[in-house]
Amino acid sequence: MLDFPNLAAAAAVPEAAAKPGPEGDWLNPAFHFPAGGGFDLESAINRLVLMALKATKHNVTAAARLLGVTRDYVRYRLEEKGLARALEAEAPEQSPGIPAPRK
């Protein structure tokens, strides 16, 4: 089960979430779901996790804090969803702290 506490906080204040602006609203208001489906939530989550890891120079704890999830959730994404391999493929010399996937 996915649990994003920061999203629950935004839902508690609908007027703040409804106003697009530079502070607190990260979703582009021009975003529209593709016609006929085709939106892949799993890929979107993986992309956010990768962006957080890059923003924190691959610091798993800091990336988890940035996303508002647990460190274990980020490690799960790295190990079980193959994100560690994606990071290593981009810049293997820059990711010594990323755990190798379990075999």
With a pLDDT cut of 70, the percent of the chain lying above it is 63
Question: Looking at the predicted structure, is the pLDDT value of residue 17 above 50?
Answer: no
pLDDT value of residue 32: 83
Estimate the crossing angle of helix 41-55 against helix 71-80, to 10 degrees: 110
Cβ burial 7-39 (10 Å sphere, 16+ → b, else e): eeebeeeeeeeeeeeeeeeeeeeeeeeeeeeee
Question: Looking at the predicted structure, is the pLDDT value of residue 19 above 60?
Answer: no
* pLDDT band, very low/low/confident/very high, at 43 (cuts 50, 70, 90): confident
| Over residues 8-21, mean pLDDT | 46
Considering only residues 1 and 51, tell me which one the structure prediction assigns the higher pLDDT: 51
The model carries a pTM of 0.60
d(CA 66, CA 55): 9
